[in-house]
Chains A and B, each alone.
Chain A
Amino acid sequence: MSDPGEYLIALAGNPNCGKTTLFNAITGAHQHVGNYPGITVEKKLGYCQAKGNRLQLVDLPGTYSLTAYSLEELVARDFLVKDRPRTVINIVDASNLERNLYLTVQLLELGIPILVALNMVDMATSRGIDINWEELGRRLQVPILPTVARTGKGKEELLDAAVDLAVENPSWKPLHISYGPDIDPVLDRMEREITAANFLTEFLPARWTALKYLEADEEVIRNGKETDFRLSLRLEQYAEEVTQHLQQTLDSYPEAIIADHRYGFISALLREGVVKHAHKADRLFLSDQIDRVLTNRFFGPVIMLLILYVVYTFTFRYSKVPVGWMEAGFSALGGFADSMLSEGPLKSLVISGVIDGVGGVLGFVPLIVFMFLAIAFLEDTGYLARVAYMLDRVFRTFGLHGSSVMAYIISGGIAGGCAVPGVLATRTLRSPRERLATLLTAPFMNCGAKLPVFAMLIAAFFSAREAQVMFLLTILSWIIALLMAKLIRSTILRGPSTPFLLELPPYRLPTFKGLLIHTWERTWQYIRKAGTTILAISILFWAMMSFPGLPEVDRAIYEQERASILAEAPGDVRPYLEGAGTPADSVKREVETYRERMREVDFEQAQAALRNSIAGRMGTGLARVTQFLGFDWRTNVALVSGFAAKEIIISTMGTAYSLGHSKRGEEIPLSERLSKDPSWNPLKAFSLIVFIMLYAPCLATITCIIKESGAWKWGLFSLSFNTVAASIASLVVYQGGRWLGLG
Chain B
Amino acid sequence: MPIIPLRNMTKGQKGIIHRVKASGELGRRIRDMGLIAGTPFQVRGRAPLQDPVAIRIRNFTLTLRNNESDFIEVEVDEDI
Interface residues of A (CB under 8 A from B): 64-65, 67, 69, 95-99, 102, 129, 251, 253, 255-256, 259-260, 263, 281-282, 288, 291-292, 295-298, 300-301, 389-390, 392-394, 396, 498-505
Contact = CB atoms under 8 A, between A and B. Distances in A.
A102 B57 CA distance: 14
A69 B48 contact: no
Contacts of A505: 60-61
A4 B56 CA distance: 48
Interface string B25-49: 1111111111011011010110111
Given A99-B33, A259-B32, A260-B36, A69 B58 contact: no
B1 to A, nearest CB: 18
Nearest to A396: B65
A253 B36 CA distance: 13
- Interface SS of chain B: mixed
Given A300-B48, A392-B65, A500-B52, A95 B59 contact: yes
Interface string B6-17: 000000001000
Contacts of B51: 392-393
Nearest to B33: A501
A501 B36 contact: no
Q: Which of A256, A288, A504 has the most CB of B within 10 A?
A: A256
A300 to B, nearest CB: 5
A135 to B, nearest CB: 19
A402 B56 CA distance: 20
Contacts of A282: 14, 42, 56
B52 A64 contact: no
A502 B51 CA distance: 13
A69 B37 CA distance: 22
Given A99-B33, A263-B36, A282-B42, A393 B47 contact: yes
Given A97-B59, A259-B36, 14 more contacts: A65-B32, A69-B28, A99-B34, A102-B32, A251-B19, A255-B27, A256-B20, A259-B28, A300-B47, A392-B51, A392-B52, A393-B51, A501-B29, A501-B68
A301 B48 contact: yes
Contacts of B4: none
A96 B60 contact: yes
Nearest to A64: B32
Contacts of B50: 393
Nearest to B26: A499
Contacts of B42: 281-282
Contact of A297 (B20, B48, B63, B68): B48
6 contacts: A67-B28, A295-B47, A298-B48, A389-B63, A499-B68, A501-B30
Interface of B: 14, 19-20, 23, 25-34, 36-37, 39-40, 42, 44-45, 47-52, 54, 56, 58-65, 68
Contact of B47 (A67, A99, A392): A392
The 4 closest A-B pairs by CB, nearest first: A393-B49, A259-B31, A65-B32, A504-B61
Given A99-B58, A504-B62, A504-B63, A67 B48 contact: no
B40 A500 contact: no
Contacts of A98: 34, 58-59
A473 to B, nearest CB: 27
A261 to B, nearest CB: 10
B31 A255 contact: yes
Given A500-B64, A504-B54, A295 B28 contact: no
Nearest to A292: B45
A67 B28 CA distance: 8
Contacts of B63: 389, 500-504
Nearest to A500: B65
Contacts of B44: 288, 291
Contacts of B39: 263
Contacts of B48: 295-298, 300-301, 390
B52 A99 contact: no
A293 to B, nearest CB: 12
